[in-house]
Structure 1
């Protein structure tokens, strides 16, 4: 094996020298052994510097080295990771995915890493208490769901970018990996030997995530204390086998990212001592980190499942309508910031949107554009159309030209608003009974009181007659009707046979 490694490194060095002379970038891809390695050559020059673009958008909190600005002038590989501690990603995760998208649409290779192994431990960063451990079966279920979700988001994101003028290479689809693949084969002795020997306890103790927990009475467990070693190894593994040079994460990930860079450099130096390889053979020996600002609420709280204010990216957990409305309700002062961070619109387009918005902020044109852009990116054009249809219905527009099946589709996973009820319990029943069945009123007496004061609506039309019966003609396409109480309490009835 050692002989094979040395042979490979000699080949690697020769190709590197040739690539430097000819201006060609080459990357070796590892396929399981040093006897099965392919060399792929690229001449890709990146005209649009993605780091400069991210800076303009306020998407960079810190860089581990300014050298990254020159490195991204040529094609490289970047990754970000997420632990499957829930069945869906949330709005706080979305910024890192948007960061990946910016790299992807400009011709860089992108990797999304799911922490099937690290998710069983839990990252202590930004937490005051230890996470409740999840079963391996739950982590596996969550990992599969997030894998599908990331694929869907990047399919939508690619289409979204193409519609906005980006030219994307088909072979640059996002790569999704799971770190359980390499950690499940690693013994405790291998972990200590391959990772632990390069770590220094003093440095680990100095991490902000560790110091914060040590100040609390509960302290930090050895399990969570070791998390940074595993994330560091992830970066080394991706750097070694996938030529990944950049890790992207939230600002709370700075310590974990720099731990990975330290491990890459130390293992590289250790390897050089036993081979003829030189540090100067290729710029691929470099590794970089980028942190993006954490998404905070207007009160300064972190978004996420732990904070209890998560806006989920799964349409079954947060409907496209609720997702869309989150951005519609955004304060005017945050519109420009969010347009820069959450969309890939040009800076000129954003400036024009903001100018138009500020002329008549009460029309919320800026929020509407932002909500449309980000909903299309996450949920696709179909998801955006559902959100816009639901908005029209729930804000009192006429239902005259709305198809019943489209209305059901728009609220399909919204169990709080959409209630399936058998046809014989709706048709030819008085409106007070129907309102109770739909959950719009607690009793027939409450429903009749609302009718008397003009506070009960059927299909956005005020009900005047207390004994009004719901008939087939009241059902849109014979499958759905809408009951409203007051100004904004909507209930949809899906009529089933």
Structure 2
């Protein structure tokens, strides 16, 4: 299976400007391609992962990927897919975010070898561009009617769009022209919402060069779930690639909870498993969905890819401990990850009667109820049922000297933090 056939199998081909021409270029030898990532936050999220991994697929097939960090366009704002203007950030903030995103991209692309990847920042050529040169040399190639016809602009006409965001298309087009001229870049890829910007870049290349243009545009579907909602959001917000913003355990849990209707599609999107392996997992979903074999494989493959083997093992260990109730087997760091969002209470004493702790931490509403909870076996300390009304919580149940986990009933967890 060649590259384009593999991309088709995985459902990663949305639109191509010249499918036959691109096929010939790919078959004739190595090409250079790029994808842009604007620094609108200090981390990429899981939605970005699809285009990053598509760059990786091209690289594995022998082609040279350029990862463009939009240090300049990140200061402007892309109207694509948004109903309102982006909040503009300072140059310093955008630069910091650009550096962090550049570091993240280096996790997934190989920067050594004959087809070594390269990161570029469009601030290097846009930041020093004066307004007269921009208008004369670049802006003159775009008619207002042409720009208004693009979906990314047309969808914002009624609600309003500033000249700043209106000009984004021209700046991204200029990126493609510069990379075409300086890096011999022949292909731009992006999400389906970037189709208008990509084709505008091809138009600028055509108007700015005398040679016969051999450049192409390629878009990938935006990732949605079977219910039509956007992929990449949880109750806590976006699923980030930065472990400081979304822990490996949260990342793993997000993926393992994938719906049966979506899991095969996401295995194709986000893993490098072969067609045969994915077809086998599809059979598992069909015949034994309750075993969730495909979901576990998806969570393992993608968590390992993003966070590494050690973090994957940690995420699995936390998941298994929570399922079995063996909380005491976890480390303090694992407790932080697994119980990040449960109610917590800071205890200033070195030890405290369990009954008093239930009241102080608002685990039980009254002493009478607290006694009943303990007597009835509804209270668990680090996963162990405690029925002694005289029990004391102290050093023996402090995990790494920092935490104790109290559970009331089947699902109500509370974290005790010891000072």
TM-score, normalised to structure 1's length?
Answer: 0.76
Distance 1:263 1:387, change over 3 A: same
Distance 2:139 2:204 in 1: 10
Q: How many residue pairs align between the two structures?
A: 415
Check the 8 A contact 2:250/2:337 in 1, yes or no. Answer: no
Match of 1:27 in 2: none
Distance 1:357 1:296, change over 3 A: closer
Q: CA deviation at 1:141?
A: 2.3
Pairing of 1:202-217 with structure 2 (within 5 A): 202-214=145-157, 216=158
Match of 1:196 in 2: 139
Question: Structure 1 residue 154 and structure 2 residue 108: aligned?
Answer: yes
Distance 1:450 1:193 in 2: 77
Check the 8 A contact 2:172/2:197 in 1, yes or no. Answer: yes
Runs of at least 5 residues in structure 1 that lack an aligned partner in the other structure: 1-47, 159-167, 270-277, 280-284
Distance 1:447 1:367, change over 3 A: farther
Distance 2:402 2:236 in 1: 36
Match of 1:106 in 2: 61
Other structure's SS at 2:156 match: helix
Distance 1:418 1:105, change over 3 A: farther
Pairing of 1:40-189 with structure 2 (within 5 A): 49-66=2-19, 67-73=21-27, 74-151=29-106, 153-154=107-108, 170=113, 172-189=115-132
Check the 8 A contact 2:318/2:338 in 1, yes or no. Answer: no
Q: CA deviation at 1:491?
A: 4.0
RMSD: 2.8
Distance 1:77 1:376, change over 3 A: same
Distance 1:308 1:488 in 2: 19
Could you tell me which of 328, 334, 340 is aligned with 2:256?
A: 328
Distance 2:392 2:323 in 1: 24
Q: CA deviation at 1:137?
A: 2.5
Other structure's SS at 1:395 match: helix
Could you tell me which of 361, 381, 402 is aligned with 2:309?
A: 381
Q: CA deviation at 1:52?
A: 1.7
| Deviations 1:432-472, CA, capped at 9 Å, x for gaps | 454567x6737664655543443321111122123311233
Match of 1:393 in 2: 321
Question: Structure 1 residue 250 and structure 2 residue 178: aligned?
Answer: no
Distance 1:96 1:231 in 2: 17
Distance 2:42 2:174 in 1: 25
Distance 1:482 1:237, change over 3 A: same
Distance 1:240 1:118 in 2: 19
Other structure's SS at 2:68 match: strand
Question: Structure 1 residue 474 and structure 2 residue 415: aligned?
Answer: no
Q: CA deviation at 1:336?
A: 1.1
Distance 1:447 1:224, change over 3 A: farther
Distance 2:164 2:68 in 1: 21
Check the 8 A contact 1:440/1:489 in 2, yes or no. Answer: no
Distance 1:107 1:463, change over 3 A: same
Distance 1:447 1:321, change over 3 A: farther
Distance 1:414 1:144 in 2: 31
Distance 1:413 1:266, change over 3 A: farther
Check the 8 A contact 2:47/2:231 in 1, yes or no. Answer: yes
Check the 8 A contact 1:440/1:491 in 2, yes or no. Answer: no
Could you tell me which of 367, 383, 406 is aligned with 1:460?
A: 383
Check the 8 A contact 1:311/1:323 in 2, yes or no. Answer: yes
Q: CA deviation at 1:173?
A: 4.4
